[in-house]
Amino acid sequence: MQTSLIRKIIFDEKSRSLLVQTLVIGLFALFIYLIAQQTAYNLEKRGISSGFDFLNISAGYDISIRLIPFTSEDTHLRAYFVGLLNTLMIAVCGCILATILGFLVGIIRLSSNWLFRNIAYVYVEFTRNVPVLLQIILYYSILLNLPKIKQAFPIFNTFYLSNRGLFSPSPIFKEGFSIVFYSLIIAIIFTIFLKRFLKSKQEQTGNQYPIFFINSAIIIFTPILFYYIMGSPLEFDHPVLKGFNFKGGMVIRPEFLGMLFGLSIYTAAFISETVRSGIISVSKGQREASQSLGLKSSFIMRLIIIPQALRVIIPPLTSQYLNLTKNSSLGIAIGYADLVHGFGGISLNQTGRAIEIMLIVMLTYLSISLIISLSMNIYNKSVQFKGNA
């Protein structure tokens, strides 16, 4: 009996591979366990405290670039959320700007105009082949050479540009503005139904309707109408130079702009190559066939070429978004208060909880990346070829 069992394990491919795999997983788990054990032991031996209790201690430092209120008396946990929001803000703004720029440059690179095509070519080759950190520092240094605060450059006497950022009026919402806001949401929902209705009508009758113009008009004019009905419930707080700095209004800091330019200009170069290859990948016959059907050239691009190109573009585009998000951790180089700079840097230094904080930060980046991948995969499925080919 026993010999047959051993014989089975050694010579039966299925059970043998099962055994080996179990063994490898077990040893790997043991390895991780031993490392964790050893780390805990070493920390204790060196008298370094550990644990997550530090999250509820007040942080003791201030963060200037923030989306939610934060003072030095708030906890490290809140500092984490301030940093997380800053990371998400630069990631979202960066991805949007990089996508717009990338699509433009990708299309320009296929243009028949020699000058445009080659300017785009030089841009792509230059930005792709210079480390993004250097580009971020370059843009930041340029921004630091803007006029000093006392000589801030006025734009229409409303915005002020200086090396401490772009100062702009901030909106103050008065009573009744919420109705304007709700009217906008209702208008958007209405246009979605209207679009479906007009589309089905087009399929029945063959008549085309200027859906885009009708819907744009509805979305723009409804809130404006309600804005005046409610008696203009919106005022602006204008920035005024007082003492050392501008008081009032909002400000976009040079640290944010440096990051935004650096990340999106760098990533846009990669996206433009993705877009170019996507468009080229659509076979020539598609364009020729639609031309012979007599379609307008803008229709050919929008209805025939782009939908097919997207199938090729989306997967590499996802990885560019992931790269941009991860590269946002370079904010530390120019003092942009992202997750790594504030929580992963200052909090780490004040509390000394390097392992705990790095674990939290790494898990956070992992979650952000997985969420981006997941939503891009859902979008990717929606543009893939549907049918039973």
Partner 1 sequence: MTKIKSLFISLLLTLGVSTAIAGSHGSTHDLVKDRGKLMCGSNTGLAGFGAPNDAGVWEGIDVDVCRAVAAAVFGDASKVEYVPTTSKVRFTVLQSGEIDMLSRNTTWTLSRDVDLGLEFVGVNYYDGQGFMVSKDLGVSSAMELDGASVCIQVGTTTEMNLADFFKANGMSYESVPVETNSEADAAYLAGRCDIYTTDASGLYASRAGYPDPSAHVVLPEIISKEPLGPAVRHGDSEWADIVRWSLNAMIIGEELGINSGNVDEMKGSNNPEVLRLLGVDAGYGAMLGLSDDWAYNILSQVGNYSESFEKHIGPNTPINIQRGLNALYKDGGILYAPPFR
For CA atoms 339, 340, 341, 347, give the dihedral sign.
positive
Distances (CA, A) of 197 to 200, 204, 225, 333: 5, 11, 25, 52
* The only residue of 9, 216, 352, 384 in contact with partner 1, by rule CB under 8 A: 352
Window 250-279: residues binding partner 1 (CB under 8 A): 254
Q: Encode burial over 4-13: b for 16+ CB neighbours within 10 A, e otherwise.
A: eeeeeeeeee
For residues 94 and 324, what is the distance between their CA atoms, to the nearest angstrom? 7
- Residue-by-residue DSSP string for 221-250: HHHHHHHHHTT--EEEE--EEETTEEESSE
For residues 318 and 374, what is the distance between their CA atoms, to the nearest angstrom? 10
| Beta carbon nearer to partner 1, 61 or 190 | 61
The answer to the question of residue 76 lying near partner 1 (CB under 8 A) is no
Amino acid at 124: V
The answer to the question of residue 23 lying near partner 1 (CB under 8 A) is yes
Distances (CA, A) of 22 to 2, 26, 33, 34: 21, 6, 16, 18
121, burial (CB in 10 Å: exposed 0-12, middle 13-18, buried 19+): middle
Window 288-307: residues binding partner 1 (CB under 8 A): none
* The only residue of 17, 178, 232, 349 in contact with partner 1, by rule CB under 8 A: 349
For residues 333 and 66, what is the distance between their CA atoms, to the nearest angstrom? 18
| Beta carbon nearer to partner 1, 98 or 251 | 251
The continuous run of DSSP H or E covering 116 comes out as helix 114-128
Choose the stretch contacting partner 1; rule: CB under 8 A; options: 57-65, 205-213, 288-296, 368-376.
57-65
The answer to the question of residue 149 lying near partner 1 (CB under 8 A) is yes
Binding mask 324-343 for partner 1 (x = CB under 8 A): --------xx-x-x---x--
The answer to the question of residue 242 lying near partner 1 (CB under 8 A) is yes
Choose the stretch contacting partner 1; rule: CB under 8 A; options: 142-150, 171-179, 219-227, 271-279.
142-150
Window 182-241: residues binding partner 1 (CB under 8 A): none
Distance separating the N- and C-terminal Cα atoms of the chain:
53
| Beta carbon nearer to partner 1, 145 or 208 | 145
Strand-pair partners of 252: 166
Q: Is 58 helix (H, G, I), strand (E, B) or coil?
A: strand
| Beta carbon nearer to partner 1, 213 or 244 | 244
The answer to the question of residue 64 lying near partner 1 (CB under 8 A) is yes
The answer to the question of residue 169 lying near partner 1 (CB under 8 A) is no
| Beta carbon nearer to partner 1, 2 or 145 | 145
Least Å distance between CB 36 and partner 1?
11
Choose the stretch contacting partner 1; rule: CB under 8 A; options: 46-54, 126-134, 260-268, 365-373.
46-54
The answer to the question of residue 72 lying near partner 1 (CB under 8 A) is yes
Q: Is 53 helix (H, G, I), strand (E, B) or coil?
A: helix
The answer to the question of residue 34 lying near partner 1 (CB under 8 A) is yes
Cα angle, residue 251 at apex, residues 249 and 256 outer, rounded to 5°: 165
The answer to the question of residue 247 lying near partner 1 (CB under 8 A) is yes
Chain residues in the site for partner 1 (CB under 8 A):
20, 23-24, 27, 31, 34-35, 38, 41-42, 45-49, 60-64, 71-73, 144-145, 148-149, 163-164, 242-245, 247, 254, 332-333, 335, 337, 341, 345-346, 348-352, 354
